[in-house]
Structure 1
Amino acid sequence: MGKLLILTLLGVGLALIGERFVAFRKRALADREVVSIEPQSCHLVEGLETGSEDIDILPSGLAFISTGLKYPGMQSFAPDEPGHIFLIDLNKKTPKVQVLQINDGFDKASFNPHGISTFIDKDHTVYLYVVNHPHLTSTVEIFKFEEQQHSITHLKTIKHELLQSLNDIVVIGPEQFYVTRDHYFTNFLMQVEMFLGLPWTSVLYYTPTEIKEVAKGFLSANGITISLDKKYIYVADVLAHNLHVLKKHDNGDLTELKVVHLGTLVDNLTVDPDTGDILAGCHPNGMKLLPYNPEDPPGSEVLRIQNVLSQHPRISTVYANNGSVLQGSTVASVYQKKLLVGTIFHKTLYCEL
């Protein structure tokens, strides 16, 4: 009787594991084929060879790019090099990138930049907020942009027991921001969460006087941004293939209004400053990210979501590639019909739309 019970329990356990594995492969879009959709005027940006995980473009056309992210288990083409912030001026006829030097007083050797967001104060001073993973922990770093010197000056490191395993950030005021917490840098939780499909990730709201969880129940909260009118926060749930629209309240709380299913692994989000459309950098076949095979690389995909608050938002593909040109896209950002598409560990694409 005892052996029969053990065998029965073992069979149930194996069946559950098998079902979870099938569900995980489905969430990761393991078998999806990518059909190329590429604008005619596109080329890879020279000088960006080790990723461009996040991109934030100022109203002036200056774009900040975080590079060199080291993710546990993820491919890196420069594993022993620290990360950097690059700058590119999209007003130039042929935009070129330059690395922004970090002024003294900051641990540059352990710089591991992830999500970024900019803030411009009333004096037109530009501040750059960066999710950083030094030694696989999480902090938020605040820099001041020194445009004439082509550098950034480190002002402050924000640490808190809740600010762990962060992903992306959007700044809404001086030292006021939302961040997504995805558990990726807490390896065991991440692995359990991804395999079982548990909604354990969340959005946090930070001010110098308080920090609180304001949205939860995501399989893997990833990209985050804000609408042009500052009334709504958009959050990507990468494993659920969803875009969440949340109403922002004066106290920082968020109320979910709707969920838009995109049918792909949604990474970082940006907003077109001319139209208010949402641009999503996506992974069309996520199983190819881990492990990385250069003979069968992960593809890239960019979606545009129009009229997201309407009953029937319009979703269109701006760019798609099977990995032959661009691998592992994370973000797409636009300025005056000039598009930058970034990646986790690969290159950066520039297109004229």
Structure 2
Amino acid sequence: MSPLQRRLLIGFGLVLAVASIFTWRFLAAMGYFTAIKQEVAAQCAVVPSPPGPEDIQVDRDAHQAFVAASDRRALMAGNKAARGGVYVIDLSAPVAEWQLHPVTAAEPADFHPHGLSLYKGADGSRRLFVVNHRSDGVESVDIFDVAGDGMLTLVRSVTDPLLVSPNDVVAVGPESFYATNDHGTANKTEGMLEDFMLSRSADFVYYDGSKMSIAGDRLLFPNGINVSKDGKTIYVAESLGLSLHLYDRNIATGELTPRDYTPMGTGLDNIDVAEDGSLLIAAHPKMTAFLAHARDASDLSPSQVIRVELAKEGEGGRAGTIYLNLGQQISGATVAAGYGDLMLIGNAFDPNILVCQQSRKIRAY
């Protein structure tokens, strides 16, 4: 073997080794090697819905649940005319009678909702903030007035160059919000490369009603975002980073200071804040299965719900699984919204919502 051939062989071996390391890191973060030894069952009922009820926001005072739904498989197939919608469930009715009633405003006509958040003013007024992936490529957060029956009226659509790949939103004022960018780019190919490299190039933004700024950065697929009941803490869930981040919030300025983060070992999605301040987080223990389910409904994707009881002064917090299913009941759960002893579990693709008894028993995963 000549010296040139030897150098080429060594170079090829090094490239192969580096590629193998990155592939292993990516597959590990995606849950490819995760083994689910035992399901955590719950007593559940199915509520039919339009395809893809990805996010759910419960108004516990009004006994209503707002649902953002979009037929993502139709959109992936190129049907950009498949307009999504927002729906409301009357939670005061018996569970067997729960139905999704459309409350979507006529505007914007180009409407493909993702995450949503409800803001309630001191005067009792309500506004719904909805991430909208417009078919022309423009990303926006649309703000709606909410009538007593849940019907929506568009107030304004917020767009900004910093809103590059919005996933979820949390409202903190009548026109102010935080929103996650799950990638640092709007380019899908570049976004896939970010994922593969596990690049911490994503962020989340703050809009104060007039201007937008970066609120937090160096995140790995930030997904769900929410705020504590007192408005002083922002929670951000990382899907590929497999962690929950906590930020102290200056209510007057909106500025955030990183406080802590907790590795969860599973792909976190949307966050719900319960009446007692605890968190319900839907999660994907095997995100490789979630991608397969996106392409083919017959490929099941495990669904998990985590309960997080946050640390109190002088005490430690705890977290664990309260629901875990291999995908037969619901595939690719994206949100678990609590309502009393129940939780409403939504998903990204299929035409159903699961309503389950909410266990208070936390199990190790």
- TM, length-normalised to structure 2: 0.88
1:299 aligns with 2:302: yes
Partner of 2:145: 144
The one-character-per-residue Cα deviations of 1:199-247 (angstroms, maximum 9, x if unpaired) are 0111111123321112111111110001122110000011111000110
CA displacement at 1:18 relative to structure 2: 1.1
Partner of 2:325: 321
- Who is 1:164 aligned against? 164
Find the aligned partners of 1:115 and 1:349 in 2 and give their Cα distance.
18
Distance 1:309 1:73 in 2: 44
The answer (yes or no) to whether the contact 2:73–2:349 under 8 Å persists in 1 is no
Q: Does the aligned pair in 1 maintain the 2:88–2:103 contact within 8 Å?
A: no
Q: Quick check: 1:69–1:83 contact (8 Å CA) kept in 2?
A: yes
Instruction: Give a deviation string over 1:253-292, Cα, whole Å, max 9, x none.
Output: 211111111111001101111x110110000111012233
Tell me which moved more, 80-89 or 277-286. 80-89
Q: Which 5+ residue runs of structure 2 have no aligned equivalent?
A: 359-365
Amino acid corresponding to residue 119 of structure 1 in structure 2: Y
Residues 1:132 and 2:132 aligned together: yes
Q: Which amino acid in 2 is paired with 1:321?
A: N
Aligned to 1:89: 90
Give the partner amino acid of 1:247.
D
Give 1:295 deviation, angstroms: 4.4
Q: Structure 1 residues 33 and 248 mapped into 2: Cα distance closer, same or farther (>3 Å)?
A: same
Which amino acid in structure 1 is aligned with residue 41 of structure 2? E
Residues 272, 75 of structure 1: CA spacing in aligned structure 2 closer, same or farther, 3 A cutoff?
Answer: farther
Q: Secondary structure at the match of 2:329?
A: coil
Task: Look up the SS of the partner of 1:192 in the other structure.
Answer: helix
Q: Answer whether contact 2:71 2:82 (CA < 8 A) is retained.
A: no
Cα separation, 2, equivalents of 1:68 and 1:88:
17
**AA partner of residue 278 (structure 1):** L
Which AA in structure 1 matches 2:308? I
Q: Deviations over 1:131-165 (max 9, x none)?
A: 000114311111111234x5211121111111111
Task: State whether structure 2 residue 260 is matched by structure 1 residue 258.
Answer: yes
Partner SS, residue 291 of structure 2: coil
Q: Report the equivalent of 1:45.
A: 47
How far the C-alpha of 1:350 sits from its partner, in A, is 0.5
- Of structures 1 and 2, the one with the larger relative CO (CA 8 A, separation 6+) is 1
Unaligned runs of at least 5 residues, structure 1: none
In structure 1, what residue type is equivalent to 2:205?
A: L
Q: Partner of 1:235 in structure 2? A: 236
Does 236-245 or 119-128 show the bigger shift?
119-128
1:222 aligned to 2:253? no
Cα distance 1:340–1:2, how it changes in 2: closer, same or farther (>3 A)? same
Residue 309 (structure 1) shift: 5.5
Secondary structure of the 1:204 match is strand
What pairs with 1:1-353 in structure 2 (closer than 5 Å)? 1-34=3-36, 35-40=38-43, 42-46=44-48, 48-60=49-61, 61-68=63-70, 70=72, 81-94=82-95, 95-107=97-109, 110-135=110-135, 136-148=137-149, 150-183=150-183, 185-249=186-250, 250-273=252-275, 275-292=276-293, 293-308=296-311, 312-346=316-350, 347-353=352-358
Q: Is the 8 A contact 1:72 1:185 kept in 2?
A: no
Q: Percent identity?
A: 28
- CA RMSD for the aligned pairs? 2.3
Aligned to 2:362: none
When structure 1 is superposed on structure 2, of 234-243 and 312-321 the one drifting more is 312-321
